[in-house]
Amino acid sequence: MQILDGKALSQKIEGKVKQGVAVLKEETSRTPGLAVILVGQDPASSAYVNMKKKACDRVGFYSVSHEMPEDISQDAIENTISMMNKNPNIDGILVQLPLPPQIDTTKILELVDPAKDVDGFHPFNVGRLVTNLDGFVPCTPLGVMELLAEYDINVKGKNCVIVGASNIVGKPMAALLLNAEATVEVCHIHTDDLKKHTLNADMIFVGVGVINLITEDMVKDDVVIVDIGVSRTPEGKLVGDVDFENVSKKSSYITPSPGGVGPMTIAMLLSNTLKAAQLNTMDKN
């Protein structure tokens, strides 16, 4: 069993991004800019935005956070996004999800300029991903693919089971795996007998936020496990969706949680923002 170390790889990617920022500044006198919209006081979202801010500082990005109250109006968020779409110093716009119930999330995500959609959630970029064209890919599944590539894990022809069908992780993960010529099965809350599906999997990708959802009896020997879920136990410990202690004994490769996919998500956000800045510079030349 080998650990897929997302923390180590994320630091490597950060180093490459930092180099890319230095080159961009030298050649164009331009600093990549990332804007984040955070609505409300959700502790997990606030902590995540803070981690993103620190990561931006480490690689030399210009970053700004628009922190808004829970009862903010749709118009106020839309006006802020429109302003950032027009701001030449902002290359990437990130709307921290989830948004409060009074906000039309779909409308907000569609308002972001696709060229600044570094989270890869705009329908334009989703469409390009599904049709295997270049665009911005959601950071978590993109990070998973980078992690597999780092360890020379080839998905071509492999039976890949994804547990969770969210727009943020499950669906784009399926598209990336299909584009890489894997055989893909997506399971979700209405799937009958999850074990029947996972037992045949060469690789399992799980991200639903259910502690110990995947247990030792649900996987075959030498399976590759990518645990994207994060939950907090009653004792306050962060854990994933996989019973790591027991499932790892049967795995060929496995991500820890935390320390696996999480750091890769932020690394890919930095990578996407640098890409947006580079494209933005090319468009102006």
- Active-site choice (91, 96, 171, 278): 96
The conformational region for residue 72 under phi > 0 = left, psi -120 to 50 = alpha, else beta, is beta
Catalytic-role residue among 91, 116, 117, 119: 119
CA 98 to chain centre: 14
The residue annotated as part of the active site, out of 52, 116, 171, 275, is 52
> Half-sphere exposure (CA, 13 Å, Cβ side) for 152?
0
Q: Which amino acid is at 60?
A: G
Residue that the structure tokens 């996407």 belong to: 272
Phi, psi of 229 (to 5 degrees): -75, 150
Active site includes 119?
yes
Query: How far apart, in whole angstroms, are the C-alpha atoms of residue 199 and residue 216?
Result: 10
Q: How far apart are CA 207 and CA 163, in angstroms?
A: 6
Residues 6+ apart with CB under 8 A from 273: 32, 34, 56, 61, 91, 92, 118
Among this protein's residues, is 107 annotated catalytic? no
Residue positions annotated with a catalytic role: 52, 96, 119
